[in-house]
Structure 1
Amino acid sequence: MPALVRPSVALLALGFATLAPSAHALSKRDQAAVEALDQRMQAAEARYRQGIVKVGNADPSGRSEVDASLEDMEDVMAACVKQKGCSPTTMLTAYKRLLKQNADVAAGDDVPEDSEDEGAGSITADVPEAARAAALLSADGQRFVKMVQYNPAVQAGIRRWLTDMRPALIDTFENYQYLRQSMWPQFERAGLPEALLFGVMAKESNGRVHSTSRAGAAGPMQFMYGTGLRFGLGEDGTGFDTRYDARASAQAAASYFNERLGQLNRSIELSLAAYNGGEGRAQRVYNSSGGRNFWDESVYNQFPAETRDYVPMVIAAAWLFLHPKEYGLSFPKVDARAAALRLSKPSSIYELTICLGSSGSRDGYMRALRNLNPRYEADRYLPTGTVLNATTKMVGLYNRYCIQGQRADLAHTLVMSDASSAIVRTGPVTPVNSSDVVYEAESAGTGSAGAVAVAKAAPKKASKPSSYTVKRGETLTAIAQKFQCDTGDLAKANKLKAPRYAIKPGQKIKLDGCEG
């Protein structure tokens, strides 16, 4: 199982490695304080081990025990730095020993006989299928390391991800950073590895939430409609298909993999084959083979070429997610701290993308905003007060550039621009009637000889249109912008369902509430 360490603890531990205890003689008071910290660390270690055993036995209280013990260790090490005579190095050694023991157990190695942890050795005997499978793809999972190291199919997948498919891998990682807080907890609670989630998403959608295949699979995890329904996905009553929701789709995928792992002898490879090639096929192949491994020729050749390619490619992406430095792979740093962005004026994701700019990001914030807010079409104008899922950086840029000022005005102008208005329509040439001509005297002379003919400007009274015929390529939002009315009001007047507001060329649209 993955090491249960929070980033704050790991960073704190690294800082302790550079510190040394005081060499001066200790007073009785300082000595007592050091001994008290040692006792607290020992108690935290014992509590940690007990929590690990509970986690291995699928006891829901195990996670709380582990988290609480980590907090205790963090407090002890922080106090050790301030306490005269306390050795941060000694504390760190105990901490590392504990984690090493946990990593060995997760990888299936035997615990040394002199270990003080009497219960840890039984963990691997009692963990459920998902927890066993997690060890395959954990950062310390030796079985997975060996599989990737010696399997030419997976190595070929790694080669492809690092060459012609490198941009797709980088895009997936960047997209996933924004979605991680919604998706990873669903796999973590199911006892499944994060690398598996990343690998599947890399091959399926590159982390694009609105991705849809020609076969009808949809969302970041590419669920078919019927399969999605089985695992709680589908239309939610508002017209939105929750297959496009990152959190819901990750939860469904975790449930799907746990179901497959339980039926396919805890095989990650066969479960992936089922995910791509159909669970019925995978089950039949597994049953007829007598439970052989995916890489066995008799099993491997029963799957279509797409599935034979899919399985090693997912595992290869998962491996690179865990070990990028070994291959000279540098993933982008993404500031994905979540924050709510409340619109101070009507806007659309298109307009926000322009006014937010890039600010150090490679591609700007279009994809991030779309992924975080899958219910909204990019060109749909959202009313004042709408709250969007965003990041702290986006909120700061919004307040600086999108509410008012030159960039805000420019973004609005660009989004509201109508390409058709650039075409000059002069119409047929009509003769000028003599009754429409008057003569004005030039300043240089008098009389008719010095007069200039000027055509009367016939004033036209603009009429407010009551309807509009949809042209090819137009959206309801574009029409609403053209006639200066609210998209929602226009949709309501024409009984169009959210969120797509589907219209077609030649359709008559009522312009109720529009200014024209």
Structure 2
Amino acid sequence: MSVRVPLLRSLSFAVAVSLAGCASAPDKAPASPSLNALYSQLDTASQGYENALRQARAGDEAGSEKTLAAALDQLKQAAAGCDVASGCDPQRFYAVYDRLLRLKDGSDIGVDGLDTAGESGGPDGLATGAASLPQARRSVTLLHGQKLSELIAMNGPVKAALEMWLTQWRPNLMDAWVNYQYMRFEMWPQYQKADLPEALLFGIMAKESGGKVHAVSRSGAAGPLQFMYSTGLRFGLGTDNGFDTRFDPKQAARANAEYLNEQLGAFNNNLELTLAAYNAGEGRMRRIAGDRPGVSFYDPSVYDELSQETRDYVPAVLAAAWLFLHPDSYNLHFPKVDGRPGQVVLKRPASLSELTVCLGNTANLPGGWFRTLRNLNPRMDPEAEQPAGTALALPKALERAYAARCVDGPWPILASDLHDAVVPKPAVDPSPAKQQRHGPTRHYRVRSGDTLIGIVHRMRCSSVRDVVEANELHGHRIKPGQVLQIPDCRRR
């Protein structure tokens, strides 16, 4: 018999509460018991937790719960003692907490037969959201034979990144979670096939784009996993009928998994160096690491040679992956999302923008459905009206809402009226002002098969954003024969 989920979750709450006191300043008046007794009590509590796991594994659930309760009581008492004991080291308590979290990941337990009550099934048995999976099952996914949690060192940079995700970056993390849940049915199977852990996929996506399929950086990296043009081509991301497949979440996840497995092979399964290569370029990382595939990312001979961006990037990805595995343990609660895929066939012409208006806040999504509709239909210009009969991907939960709100009645009429609004243009040709704002320009005539990213890559120096602004492009759409102004920074 395997450990049931309630037992595993007990650690998240009880130990977190215990450690709250440990952060206090250690200069309070000494208290009994002595420090050695406190540390001994801490060790005993840790051993008790391990014993509780073993009892649960052996089928003694009642005995396991009793042992666990005693262990957590000891841990709380020791933490309270540390709060008032002069010289008590709170880091020792945090180290135990970290170790018990890793035990919770399955280092000492089996995962078959875990309690899965309350899960909702998706297509082909795929759960509809990672939050619905028992934490132990998610945590023990292996990365080339090693548990992912064992590869994440809880050091200073990772702890600092955890704090950022839980504070300043928290809105981004929550948005990334929701965006990912609606694309999970496309992205996660690509990682499964490559035998890579889902937490890693989420960590990279959260840091790279926040789950915005059409994200483009000033350097030209594009898509939910931010591939550079040349790297994308190497892993099969190119142009398909004028569409840049880096924006396709399924194809991007496949290419990302292939890239990671390639680099894990090159860096002796060193996850930190592999992530650094994804951010800084594999050529640069191989030059820095040299013939030392086992060297630590934090070794000064490596760390000091990297840009600040890469130094921040690696722990940020690992921290997001860690929170994916242990949200409750950090007072983080991801919302439940019904990510089952659905489809409607348009009964009347509509753009993604119009559909967003008529769907409103259906299913209580505060930010509306624009981002989700774009992510699930990456080939569509969100402003272009799609003809009746067009098949449109959307969450399963919206199928009825579309029929009720977006076919007949006032909402599609209102949405169409807003969408067709005419914005007056200046009587004077604004091109001189553009020329002044963007500086000297070159011209490029679009050819069949061209993409905006590809053009910027070939013409060099300009960014996608500059070209979009200079030509007032909507949705990054271009067509053969169109003449583009390309800001020319070489002549500035």
Is the CA contact (8 Å cut-off) linking 2:174 and 2:334 kept in structure 1? yes
SS for the counterpart of 2:179 is helix
Q: Which residue of 2 aligns with 1:205?
A: 209
Is the CA contact (8 Å cut-off) linking 1:133 and 1:267 kept in structure 2? no
2:316 pairs, out of 313, 316, 325, with 313
Cα distance in 1 for partners of 2:103, 2:330 equals 25
Is the CA contact (8 Å cut-off) linking 1:183 and 1:247 kept in structure 2? yes
Q: 1:91 to 1:328 in 2, by over 3 A?
A: closer
Cα distance in 2 for partners of 1:287, 1:413 equals 62
Q: 1:136 to 1:501 in 2, by over 3 A?
A: same
Deviation track 1:363-413 (CA, whole Å, cap 9, x = no partner) reads: 111000000000001101111110011112221111001101011211111
Deviation track 1:206-230 (CA, whole Å, cap 9, x = no partner) reads: 1000000111100000000100011
Q: 1:409 to 1:471 in 2, by over 3 A?
A: farther
2:189 pairs, out of 185, 189, 195, with 185
**Post-superposition shift, 1:286?**
2.1
Deviation track 1:423-471 (CA, whole Å, cap 9, x = no partner) reads: 9x9xxxxxxxxxxxxxxxxxxxxxxxxxxxxxxxxxxxxxxxxxxx999
Deviation track 1:169-205 (CA, whole Å, cap 9, x = no partner) reads: 1110010001100001111111111011001011110
Q: 1:271 to 1:107 in 2, by over 3 A?
A: farther
Cα distance in 2 for partners of 1:106, 1:91 equals 14
1:327 pairs, out of 324, 327, 330, with 330
1:415 aligns with 2:419: yes
Q: Which residue of 2 aligns with 1:345?
A: 348
Q: Which residue of 2 aligns with 1:364?
A: 368
1:232 aligns with 2:236: yes
Cα distance in 1 for partners of 2:292, 2:58 equals 49
Deviation track 1:248-275 (CA, whole Å, cap 9, x = no partner) reads: 0000000000011111010110000000
The 5 Å alignment of 1:52-63 reads: none
1:244 aligns with 2:247: yes
Q: Which residue of 2 aligns with 1:33?
A: none
Cα distance in 2 for partners of 1:372, 1:191 equals 24
Cα distance in 1 for partners of 2:193, 2:308 equals 33
Is the CA contact (8 Å cut-off) linking 2:266 and 2:293 kept in structure 1? no
Cα distance in 2 for partners of 1:393, 1:403 equals 16
Deviation track 1:271-305 (CA, whole Å, cap 9, x = no partner) reads: 00000011011122222546311122222112221
Is the CA contact (8 Å cut-off) linking 1:219 and 1:244 kept in structure 2? yes
Q: Which residue of 1 aligns with 2:266?
A: 263
Aligned residues: 323
Q: 1:392 is matched by which residue type in structure 2? A: K
Cα distance in 2 for partners of 1:202, 1:320 equals 11
SS for the counterpart of 2:336 is coil
Q: 1:175 is matched by which residue type in structure 2? A: N
SS for the counterpart of 1:390 is strand
Is the CA contact (8 Å cut-off) linking 2:359 and 2:401 kept in structure 1? yes
Cα distance in 1 for partners of 2:221, 2:478 equals 21
**Post-superposition shift, 1:501?**
3.9
Q: Which residue of 2 aligns with 1:278?
A: 281
Is the CA contact (8 Å cut-off) linking 1:289 and 1:299 kept in structure 2? no
1:401 aligns with 2:405: yes
Cα distance in 1 for partners of 2:201, 2:165 equals 16
Q: 1:106 to 1:380 in 2, by over 3 A?
A: same
**Post-superposition shift, 1:357?**
0.6
RMSD: 3.7
1:293 pairs, out of 296, 308, 326, with 296
Q: Which residue of 1 aligns with 2:113?
A: none
Is the CA contact (8 Å cut-off) linking 2:57 and 2:109 kept in structure 1? no
Is the CA contact (8 Å cut-off) linking 1:134 and 1:191 kept in structure 2? no
Structure 1's unaligned 5+ residue stretches are 15-89, 96-102, 112-129, 426-468, 473-495, 507-516
Is the CA contact (8 Å cut-off) linking 1:340 and 1:390 kept in structure 2? yes
Q: 1:387 to 1:499 in 2, by over 3 A?
A: farther
Is the CA contact (8 Å cut-off) linking 1:134 and 1:193 kept in structure 2? no
Is the CA contact (8 Å cut-off) linking 1:172 and 1:206 kept in structure 2? yes
Cα distance in 1 for partners of 2:303, 2:339 equals 40
1:500 aligns with 2:467: no
Q: 1:505 to 1:308 in 2, by over 3 A?
A: closer
SS for the counterpart of 1:379 is coil
2:379 pairs, out of 375, 378, 384, with 375
Q: Which residue of 1 aligns with 2:179?
A: 175
Q: 1:91 to 1:202 in 2, by over 3 A?
A: closer
**Post-superposition shift, 1:333?**
2.1
Percent identical residues: 46
Is the CA contact (8 Å cut-off) linking 1:289 and 1:298 kept in structure 2? no
Cα distance in 1 for partners of 2:323, 2:105 equals 20
Q: 1:107 to 1:501 in 2, by over 3 A?
A: same
Cα distance in 2 for partners of 1:396, 1:292 equals 55
The 5 Å alignment of 1:378-457 reads: 378-420=382-424
Q: Which residue of 2 aligns with 1:460?
A: none
Q: 1:209 is matched by which residue type in structure 2? A: V
**TM-score of the superposed pair, with normalisation by structure 2:** 0.59
Cα distance in 2 for partners of 1:233, 1:350 equals 27
The 5 Å alignment of 1:465-476 reads: none
**TM-score of the superposed pair, with normalisation by structure 1:** 0.57
Q: 1:282 is matched by which residue type in structure 2? A: M
SS for the counterpart of 1:417 is coil
Q: 1:235 to 1:471 in 2, by over 3 A?
A: same
**Post-superposition shift, 1:247?**
0.3
SS for the counterpart of 2:393 is strand
Q: 1:156 to 1:133 in 2, by over 3 A?
A: farther
- Of structures 1 and 2, the larger Rg is shown by 1
Q: 1:372 is matched by which residue type in structure 2? A: L
Q: 2:262 is matched by which residue type in structure 1? A: E
Is the CA contact (8 Å cut-off) linking 1:264 and 1:270 kept in structure 2? yes
Structure 2's unaligned 5+ residue stretches are 9-55, 62-101, 111-140, 433-472, 486-492
